[in-house]
Each structure stands twice: as C-alpha cells, then as structure tokens.
Amino acid sequence: MDYLCIGEPLIEFTAMPDHPQGFLRNAGGDTLNTAIYLARLLGPGRVGYLSCLGDDAHSLWLRDRIAAEGIDLSALAARAGARPGLSFVTTDAAGERSFAYWRDQSPFRSHFDDSRIFGGLPRADTVFLSAVALAVLHPAGRDTLTTWLQTCRDRGAHLAFDTNYRPHLWPDRQVARQAIGRMAGMVDLLMPSLDDIQGCFGITGPEAAMEALMALTGAEIVLTTGGGPVLHRAQGAAAWTSHDLPPAVTAIDTTGAGDSFNAAWLSARGQGAGVAQAVAAAARLAAIVVRHRGAIVPPAAMPHMTLKDA
C-alpha cells in the first residue's frame, strides 16, 4: 500500500450548538482523520490503518466507518472484551475547540507491548504517525514501535511524523521532549506546528523554532504557524523557504484542520507536487474542514481535489 497510518482511533462526539442535547458522532483521532482524508484523495485500498479496537458494538461501528472510507483494515486488530476510546469536542464562538477524553480503556495503549504484533503487517511506501500515538502507548510499546519503524525505514519506507503535542497525555514535558526528539531524528518528514514547538520545547517565534528543528533533524520539515506562513526545509538542506497561506476563512470548528492539512500535503507531494503547490492544496482542504462541525466533513462537502485545484 502507499500509506500506513498509526494511531488510536476514537469515537468523536461533537456538541451541536443548535441542538444542546445532541452530539454529532463520527470516527476520530488525529492520525485516523489524516488517513480518512488521504483515502478520499487517493482512492480505496491505498491507505491502511495500524491500530487496535475491541469487539463490542461501538468498536464494530467504528471499524465499519473506517472501512466505508476505503481504508485497508488488514492492520486493524480486534481484541476480545476491549472498548474504544471516546472524545467529546466543544467549540467556542471563534471555532476553537476543547476536548474531553475517555480513553484509558483503549486497547491501542498496550497494542505494541509485545513485538510479535508486527509479524505479518503489510508493507507501505510511507508510514505516518503522530506524537499522540507515542504519548498514549505504554513505554515498552513506544520502544517496540520505534524499533519497528526503524526497521521499516531500513527496508526503504518513508517515515512521516506529526509532532502533535498534547501535554495532558504525557507524564511530564521531559518525557515528551525525549520521545518527540528521538522520533524527529529518525524520520524523513517532520510536520510540526509552532504551538507544538513552543509548548514542548519552550521555543518562541517561527524562525527560532525552525533553527531548533534543523539542529534536531536532517528531515524535511513543514512548520505551520497558526495561519501565518508555512516554513519549509528540504531534507538535508541548510536553509528554509517561507510560503504564505491564502486569506483565512471564518472557522466554525477547527477540529481536524491540521490533520486534513497533513493529508493533502502527503497526497500532493506523493503525486509530484512542488512545495508551493502542496502548501496550497493543504491549505485549501483545511479551509473546507474548518467550515464544518467535526473533524471529518461529509464527502459531499469535500469536492474532488486535483493538483490543478491548488
């Protein structure tokens, strides 16, 4: 397959302001959001998801939702007696979101504790994960996953990593810095946000963040700055370029904006787009997503996108 995304799938409940007693239910989780948008952009069977669900009715519903998006399920395990994690999302008047989670029961947390789980997994050209996946794994599982990822890279796979820093998921900032820094040093593509770098490493300002990231890794870097220019450093290069985004749209819900940006970037670059074209494609999809409630927009709201649309 082309892409294998790794992470914790959640059932996401988004509060509906027009219906205070109701929630919009959908598949959720940062890397699953990216996988769904990638599958929509590329077509069925080209994106897989490496994770674990339970065998209860909620897990079966979530598995069906993932399959309906054309995502390959061969790496999505099912554990007897387990239940999926839940996410409740509320937004303020500006569309900024806040989250509440019930995820301690999620089987993904211990999925990689035994390295035998990696036997027979499908190979992919690109493996994508985020720091959220690292944060929720047990330390032993984090180590076995990291070892397996290095094996994938040694076999020729391209590794992509979103630094998505969620402080409440980590025992402390030092553990987060070590895990994120270690992964950043071994991947081919690093996709941080300025908020991530400020929150995890205490570095302020896009230029300072880029300098610190370049000292940390030789990977290609795509640094988003919260609506400001996207800073890009080609793999191994000594300098970066700055790429302006289109004018901001009025956001209803920013959930999934970064995840969709990642998907469109990966899709565009995988089809041979240059940096400016990939930034434009990523910004276009993110602008569609933030104008809808929930991380995953209805397929009808996401028109077919080609590189010439960017």
Residues involved in catalysis: 259
Single-letter amino acid code for the residue at 205: G
Q: Using alpha carbons only, what angle is made at residue 284 by residues 283 and 287, rounded to the nearest 5 degrees?
A: 85
**Which among 36, 30, 90, 27 is positioned nearest to 60, based on CA atoms?**
27
CA distance 183 to 129: 10
CA distance 206 to 195: 10
Single-letter amino acid code for the residue at 112: F
- Cβ atoms of 65 and 26 within 8 Å: the answer is yes
**What contacts 56, CB < 8 A, 6 or more positions away?**
82, 83, 84
**Which among 95, 159, 113 is positioned nearest to 293, based on CA atoms?**
95
Single-letter amino acid code for the residue at 259: D
Token digits of residue 64: 């069906």
Q: How many CA atoms lie within 13 A of 30 on its CB side?
A: 23
**Which among 235, 239, 297 is positioned nearest to 263, based on CA atoms?**
297
